[in-house]
Structures are given as C-alpha cells and as structure tokens.
Structure 1
C-alpha cells in the first residue's frame, strides 16, 4: 500500500507512523467524518488462512470492549481486498521509546506520573478480563496533552471464556520486558502486565530495559528475563521502591494495577507511597515494633520463669539456626511454601505461604529471650506450647524452653484472601516443638561474614558516655536481646527508652526510611514514627549483599528513641546516637 490509497472506500492513507504486534500502522483520514485515524494492516504471516483471520477478528472483539482515557480506542475493522485492517483513534505524539531514544532517561517523578496513568489503564483492562501481554515503551503513546495512552493490543488475550488470540507456538511479548514466568513458558496473567509495566518504567528512568537493550542477542535477553534478576535502578531515586515492587520475580509479590497506580501517583506527587504489597519485610518490622513500644513504655512485664517440662536445646545463641525450626512441607496443606532465610534480624527465619486463593501469609519463627505468654497450653514431648489468642491479622504461638529462651511462631496475614492463621500457627508450632524435643537445635551452616553485624554486640555499639546524653539512661542497666543482636535501655528520669537492633532489609532510601543525614562520606536516615507512634528511628546501612533470590539487600543498624517527649527531641537524640554509631562500626 502507498500514501493516497483508499482503504474500504473510506480511509485515505497519509503516512506510516509505526508498527505493532500485528502490523504496520498508518495515519489516515476518515473521508466520511473528516478526522484523522490510525489504521493497521496485518502482516501476511499473521492472517495466513482462516486461523490468522480469526486471530485478527479476535483482537478487534477484545479491544472493542475497552474504554478508558489511557487506552487508544478501537473504532472499526474493515477489509480491503483480501487484507483485514484495524481502525483506531489517532493520538498525536511520540511513543515512550522515542522519547527515551531522543532525550535519554526521564526524571523519576515524570516517569512515576506516566506510570500512574498506565497503571490506571491496566486496571481497566484487567477489570474487563483482558491481559495486554506486550506492555513496553513502544506501546505507550505520550501526547502533549492528556494522559499517556496504552496501545497495540495485537497479542492481547481474554482471560475469561475460551478465546486465545496469541500464536500458541511462540512466547508472546518483547523479551526485554517479559515477566520471568512468561519467559519460562507460563501463561501470561495480569501480574505479568505489572512486571512489564515495571520494566517499561525502569527503561524510562534508566535509559535501557532491565534485561538488555536493542543491540543484545534476543535469546540472551530471553534467558536473562527467564532468570528474573533485575539490576538496581541507580537513577530511580524515590521511584526505586515502587519499581522493586513491580519487578518482583514471584507474581504473587507484585501489586495489582490499582495498587500500582496509587503507589506511582504518590511518588509523582512527592508523597511517600504505601508499599504494603511489596515491602513485606518492612511491614513485619513495623508490626513487631508497635508491640515493642507497648512493652517498653507501658512497663508490661516480659520475663517468664523456666519450666521443668521444657528441655534445654538452644546452646550457643549465635550459632543456633532458627531456620532449623521450620518445616515448609508441613505447611503445604495451606498452599505453596518458601523458606526465607534472611528476613529481619539474625534470630529469625520465615516461611511464606501462598494459598490457592491468592492469599499470602508470613510465618515468622524467632528465637527470643523469655517473655510472658498467656493462653491454652499444649504439651509436645518435653516442650510447652502456649496458644495465644489470635488478633486480627496475626496469630502467635510461644514455645517455652528452660535456658531463658522462648521460640515464637507468628502467622501474619500479608495480603490477598484471608485464611485461618491460627490453624497455620498450630501446625508450624507443633512441628517446631517436635524438632526441639529431639535434642539440640542444628547449627548454622556457614559463619557470618567478618564484617557482618551478626558478629557484633548491640549493647556495645554505643559508648557509655554517648548513652549518658539521654537523660536518665544508665549504660550498665540494659536488657540484652537474643544473640546480642538487640539491646534496650530505659530512662529512670522520664518515660523514654533507647533501642539498638540489627536488621536485614532492602537497600535504604528516602522514600521508606526518612530524611538522609550525611556524616562525612557516610549517611544514615532519620524517620519520625519509624518504630511506631511516639518514636524516632535512625537507620544506618552497613553491609550490602545479594539475598537468596539474587536481589540487593543489606544489613542495617537501627537506633530507636521511644517516648512521649515529642518528635523533635526524640529525633535530635536518635541522630546524635547514630552519628556516634557510624564511627564505631567496622568497615563493610
């Protein structure tokens, strides 16, 4: 076809303006209505025979049902001779890929604003039971006015009914933006679109996609996509945590389109995004922090006496392996399971349970000093299980041992469909008690790295003269946590406490951790209410490493000030202690 040709007696071709998943796109004039339209002729290979024509008609049927300001509208499907053509709304403006190619990486907040618009469009698409399957910069139009527009549903698939409009023999989508499960041959779902959205925004803020650029071998890119290891987005700034949420390897760990829209809109508006869908590590930290605030400030007693029915099996606290308490297979009756070995502090191990209905439960195993536990008592051999009452989104069991140690197992609802948390906690606790009843708990397979916080004593991080800057604090009057990985002091002069804790988390950022404070060539982050209400938390990133999934993680030193003296004073004290702690940490 050439410019000037008339399609179906109505659409006059003007010039080619691009190509999509199923054909070349032309700018044309609707001679009946007088306005511009975009028309797309299918490639011959895609409409070869009845099957190909059904595929093209299927695309028309699917896209015709989608109406949203962020979606390029489908108008008509016509035949010109033996060739079917799709007629769509014309949107003036470059695609996102062209913007990146011309101007390089875009500012993070502009990318977040575009992403929020696209996520809103995907929410509408997914609400109609459709998966786009090829979200990428080339399929995002960016007009001078109005929202970004999602186009080219040429390989879309209805996820309700029997229609499938993909080439069954091929992986559908563009390798550099594929979700890992799709690259590994699984069926694309709405979650795959969210990964591709994340990869698209990654490319916009970094200048190239996460799995390789246009010059790379496509098979090599596909292999990297299948592995799902995403490099850090060094230019992303406040957008980084949201990209991390969208680019999770496990589809169950990604936000849905509605949640992604809210998260991206928050970054675009210079607000803190709510990352509950992705930062489950931080959620667990904050939940335990609130309980800690109650105990420290209200003076709730936490010690309990050892029981003769229990058996001493922990041994050296620093070499005892909390993951040896887990039995992920025992929990498979509730869904698929995965052991997370570097989740929170060094006294902790988690099993993540994903139910068939889409729910996610975090089962947290912790080795702790003795604490008070009330509830029904169950005896398993020589180990006593205290079945505490479930509260809303969590249910806890406490296993009492003789050597001033308690094992707590807490099943917490993370997201999605709700399930019986106490049933999960009971199975986990019973299996852990059976393991403990056999004898001494297994040791860690490998010692910590030489520079790891696991080798330090939290009670010795802050010098005595530094602690005395907090009114009423006696440096020698402290409560040492399990393994020496946590330490607490309480003021005798006013309702105030100091908490030092070692943690493992995602890389720190201003979005999640507050205002950065520079000290020479290092920095820490300061956040009011970072450890619950009426607190201020200073966090110092210490040693970076790759977690079990190959994602960036790091050890973190946290210093929390708790009390009813107001945020300015709490944060001034927390910052003062953090500056001193920075100088005492070993080189990572």
Structure 2
C-alpha cells in the first residue's frame, strides 16, 4: 500500500491522496526530475480489471494532445502496481464546483460545455470514444479552464471492442446514453449525449432522467428514452434538447456541439481559439430553431371532467404497470381477447362500414398521426415513464374515443392527478405567442400553467394536433406542468421513431368506435326537430363527433360519442329515449342549451373495469330551454336508429 513520501519510478514523490475510487487512488505528487506538480493514479494491485483499465487509459489518452484534455506524461509498471502520471489540475472537478457553489448558469455551463465538446471532437478525430463523460470527469483549473479526464473506459474505434459487446452496462447511470443502456457499444454520439446530460445536471441539479433512489431506475429510464424537459436552462434549452436526443443519429457531432454551445457561452479566451476543424465522419446537426405558433386551447368538450374516484386496479410497481400496458395492447378495446369487449372477426375486410382496418402500416412517416380512426392515443402514453411521480395506471376507455388517460394515485388510493391525451384534426396555424420547439418532424408547444391544469401541444407532420392535458385532482400532487412535460417527452420519443402506432384488432360490432357521428343526423332531420337551418357541419377527429351550425353560428347541434366508468343521472333528469336510458340536462354545456346523454351499451374494458359507451347530444340557440330540450330528445331518438348494432 502506497504512502505519502514514497517515490514512484525514483522521481515522483507522493504527497497526498486527492481522489479515491473503485479502481484505485489518485495522488498529488512532485516530479523531482522536472520540478513540477503531477497527478499520479495507481491501480489496486489485486484488481486485474483496474490494471487493464489504467493501461487502456494511458494508451488512449497519451495520443490526445489538446488544451482541454488532461495530459498523460508517463506510465510506470512496477510489477506489483501500475501507475499513470498525468497533468495536475488544482481547481477540482465540475461536480465539486456545483457542490460548493450550487447550480451553474446556462452561460457558465455553456462555456464549460464548449471546451469539453472541443476535447471530444479531438478525441473522436483520433478515433477514441471517452465513454464516461460526467461532472466528476471534468476538471476546472483555477483560471476557469475545463479539462476532460479519466479515459479509463475509453476505447479505440478500430479496436476489437468495436466488434464485440460486453455483458455489462458501462458508464454512470445518471448520464448513460439510451443506446448504451440497451446494450449497444458506445460511439461518438454516445459521448455527445453524456456531455448533454452533464450540462443538464449542473444547471438543473439532477439527471435528465430525473431523480431516482436506485441506479437501475436511471438505467430503466434510459432504456425507455425518458428525458425530462429542462426548466432552468434558458438560452441553452435547444442545444440541450439536441445533445440529449434519444436517437444517436439525430444528435450533433462533437464539433457541431462546440458551435451550438459557443452561441450561448460568454466571450472568453478559453473558447476563442478552439479548433474549428470538423471530423468528416460525424453527422449533421438537427435544426431545433425555436419559433411560435398560433395554438388555440381545446375547448372543454362539454363539461366532460373526470370525477375523483377510488381506484379499482392499482399498479404497485413499474413492472406491474408494464404488464398492464402490454396486456392492454394485446387484449385492448380493439382486440379479439377474452373480455366482454370481445371483437368481431374482421371478416368485413378493409374499412367496411366501420372505417376500421388493420392494413394501415404502423411504420408510417415519423411524426405523423396517420389514419384518424386507427391511430391509438394510448400508444403515446406510458405509465412507466410517469412512475417517478407516484403509482400510475392506464385508463384507455374514458371520455372521447380519441382520448387516453394515465391516472396517478395517492396513498389513500384516490386519483390525485390525471394525464389526458387527445387527438385533434384541426391543423395548427403559424404565428401567435405560444413558445414552441421543433423536435424531429413535430413541433411542441407549451402553454403557461393555469391553476391546477397545464396544457402541452404536439403539432404533427401531417398537420394534426395532439393535446396533452394534465390536471391536479387532489393534494399533495405533482406539478401538472412537470407531469405534462414528462408525458409529452415520451409521446415525442414515440413520434420520433415513426407514425402513431395503430389500434389492434377490430372493435365489437355494436361499439361506437365503428360509428360515424356525422352520418347519424342530416340537415333535414335537424331542421325538422330543432328549426336550425344547417349551413355547415364539421367532423371531429375520426368522425366520432360532429357539429352542425346555422349561417351565423349562434344555433346548432353537437353530437359526441363518449365513454365513462358508469352511466349516472347526476345533474340531470332521467328519461327513456328510443328504449335507451338517458339523462336530460338543461344548460349543461353552456347557456341556452340542452344536453341529452343516451346510454348505448355496457361492457368490461381491457383492464376489467365496467365501462359504458354513450351518445352526448347538445342543442343550442336563442330559444327557451324547454324547446331546446324537446329538440334534443327528438334528435337523440333519430340518432339512436343509426348507431352501430350487433
């Protein structure tokens, strides 16, 4: 065991240990031959893996001569112990800086990141992947110069390691690139991700995977590609988004990262002379220029608000949630599984009368919604990606048919928060003041929080919209915008890989999922029952809702196919319309209106919950409420004759 006062190779006088790790000890030492301070790292003599790692570090780092890479001066093999002699950096690590001073500003982090990106560009140009870029491995001199150190798990791109895979995951979990977590070999773009994770951590105070109590939680989030949206990064947000892209090919190269970070970093002699030569083997930078878009908040479709309820099925762990999600995918509301929601044989082929088909490719263009009637909103939500906020469960059959929810449960079992995802066929419009960012082929818009609700919008490549509405239902509960950002990030990661995944199987013959709202009423029927002269009608997403209006827009009829956990008469008057249980609610959706909710069918959904489908029909206009309700009941009776039947 080495002690202060020992000499290495007869010239390096050990003075004091300045760092310890699983692989050995780092000493501050004095080079008596050249009269200078050096850092000397030794591998534990009984650890063959540590010796191999130290040797590997010496070989790869020694070929890298760069002002932002810690220089290697010498390698000493004294039979029982190996030593690597390096440049001594007196200022400590980036992690030490954050611990002592707190989080860094985006500008300061940008300056440091710019220097380390230049170091990586040099390393990559020489064919060496670092593999472990973390705040601990970035050293800061007393003059503020950043230097990359610890090439212990680095590898040469031409070495045998490029052709084989190890059985373990290399790197520190909070900074682990998704592809490495999935077992792929680290490459240049993996270093870029870890640099982004490092900068994210020193600005936000946590990993881009959030906070976790166990390292494997970080690995799990890395595997699923879950990245939290930064909130303190300011001018560095778009650059971090690019560096942390879950798809390696979409990340900038290290030299391109230098240019992105230089835009944010304040003028400094440390970054003025960085080499601008670009490695021709590196890829292109993804354009993430922020802009604004006119995004109109979705109207509350009636008073369709989720009531608080005690859970029936609770997912106690991420693994259980994953099983539920997989089960929902296999035996969901469109499958032929063994639930009350068993589906037809699909012998009608193609679209038939249902407008449902299995022929739509699940691998359509990235960032597109595709065919409205087969796009599955539940495939854009993942309860496991929200598990850090609490216990989660997927609710695939609530509200509108183009909707899916994830519920968060409190300790009592009550719902404390709801994440709702809806599709919209209304195209987004340019302009407006909602801040947006471009991610791959989609545009993400973020509204300011309003009370307990937060809205996020994804404008798809085929000019449709995806709304993510998060709401706090009880306290204590997570911040709805943080919850919404996490849900949005997952949805974007799915869209980055392709089109919105398709619903599986066929709906039951009598399901409203087979229906077309705009076909159950026509203009003549509406005029006879309500006196409204229909001048226009607008189909909602998937034609599961429709609105007919007069020329001035002050009178009309709106019909929506809905689902709920149960059919109740709360807030209305019971009625029987065309043999169906119904509820009549004057002025429910708005003043001068009357809403009829008519039960269509009951079934058990894919999670085993009792579920109902219903038709909600609202008549509005400048008429007495009694007249409006009479018209609504008459139109509901007409519509009932044209609904899907078994």
TM-score (norm 2): 0.47
Match of 2:219 among 213, 222, 236: 222
1:447 to 402, 407, 411: 402
1:11 aligns with 2:12: yes
Matches within 5 A, 1:106-125: 106-125=104-123
Q: Shift of residue 137 of structure 1? A: 0.3
Partner in structure 1 of residue 490 of structure 2 = 549
Alignment check: 8 A CA contact 1:343 1:504 kept: no
Decide whether aligned partners of structure 1 residues 141 and 281 sit closer, same or farther in structure 2, where only a CA change above 3 A counts. closer
Counterpart-to-counterpart distance in 2, 1:167 and 1:4: 42
Distance in 2 (alpha carbons) for counterparts of 1:29 and 1:503 = 59
Moved more, 184-193 or 132-141: 184-193
* In 2, Cα distance between equivalents of 1:243 and 1:322: 40
Q: 263, 267, 274: which one pairs with 1:266? A: 263
Is 1:278 the counterpart of 2:286? The answer is yes
User: 1:538: which partner in 2?
Assistant: none
CA offset digits 1:306-358 (Å, max 9, x no partner): xxxxxxx999xxx9999987674xxxxxxxxx7434579999x9xxxxxxxxx
Cα shift at 1:144: 2.2
Rounded to whole Å, the distance in 1 between the matches of 2:165 and 2:18 is 25
* Counterpart Cα distance in 2 of 1:505 and 1:277: 19
Contact 2:246/2:493, CA 8 A, preserved across alignment: no
The change in CA–CA distance for 1:20 and 1:160 in structure 2 (over 3 A counts) is farther
Please state how far the C-alpha of 1:269 moved relative to its aligned partner. 4.2
Matched pairs, number: 357
Output the CA distance in 1 between the equivalents of 2:225 and 2:448.
34
Displacement of 1:5 after TM fit? 1.0
Compared with structure 1, are the counterparts of its residues 103 and 519 closer, same or farther at alpha carbon in structure 2 (3 Å cutoff)? Answer: closer
> Residue 171 of structure 1: which of 169, 172, 175 is its match?
169
Superposed CA deviations along residues 32-86 of structure 1, whole A, max 9, x for unmatched, are 11100000001235436xxx65553333221110111110001110133510100
Match of 1:410 in 2: none
- Listed as ranges, the gaps of 5+ residues in structure 2 are 268-282, 294-349, 376-399, 406-419, 454-466, 470-483, 496-588, 590-646
Q: How far did 1:198 drift? A: 0.8
Contact 2:45–2:80 (Cα < 8 Å) also in 1: no
Aligned 8 A contact 1:230 1:551 in 2: no
1:25-64 equivalence runs, <5 A: 25-47=26-48, 53-64=51-62
Q: Deviation of residue 131 (structure 1)? A: 0.7
Query: 1:160-239 alignment to 2 at 5 Å?
Result: 160-162=158-160, 168-211=166-209, 216-239=213-236
Cα drift, residue 163 of structure 1: 5.9
Is the counterpart of residue 485 in structure 1 residue 486 in structure 2? no
Shift in Å, 1:164: 7.5
Matched residue SS, 2:133: coil
Q: List alignment gaps of at least 5 residues for structure 1.
A: 286-312, 329-337, 350-444, 456-482, 488-498, 523-540, 555-585
Q: Deviations over 1:344-396 (max 9, x none)?
A: 9999x9xxxxxxxxxxxxxxxxxxxxxxxxxxxxxxxxxxxxxxxxxxxxxxx
Q: 2:133 maps to which residue? A: 135
Provide the C-alpha distance between the structure 1 equivalents of 2:125 and 2:23, rounded to a whole number of angstroms. Answer: 24
Q: Is the 8 A contact 1:166 1:172 kept in 2?
A: no
Partner of 2:254: 257
Matches within 5 A, 1:410-421: none
Distance in 2 separating the partners of 1:134 and 1:26? 21
SS at match of 1:14: strand
Task: Give the Cα–Cα distance (whole angstroms) in 2 for the partners of residues 172 and 199 of structure 1.
Answer: 15
Q: CA deviation at 1:518?
A: 10
Deviation by residue 1:220-269 (Cα, 9 ceiling, x = unmatched): 23222322311121111111111111111111121110111111111224
Q: State the partner residue of 1:148.
A: 146
Q: Give TM-score, length-normalised by structure 1.
A: 0.51
Distance change in 2, residues 1:165/1:77 (3 Å): farther
Q: Is the 8 A contact 1:10 1:30 kept in 2?
A: yes
Deviations 1:422-441 (A, max 9, x none): xxxxxxxxxxxxxxxxxxxx
Q: Work out whether residues 485 and 502 of structure 1, in 8 Å CA contact, stay in contact via their aligned partners in 2.
A: no
Superposition pairs of residues 438-477 of structure 1, within 5 angstroms? 446-447=401-402
Relative contact order, CA 8 A, sep 6+: which one is greater?
2
- Aligned to 1:268, the other structure's residue is in SS state coil
Greater alpha carbon shift after TM alignment, 179-188 vs 130-139: 179-188
User: Is this contact kept in 1: 2:56–2:153, CA < 8 A?
Assistant: no
Structure 1 distance, partners of 2:67, 2:371, is 46
Whichever of the two has the greater Rg, that structure is 2
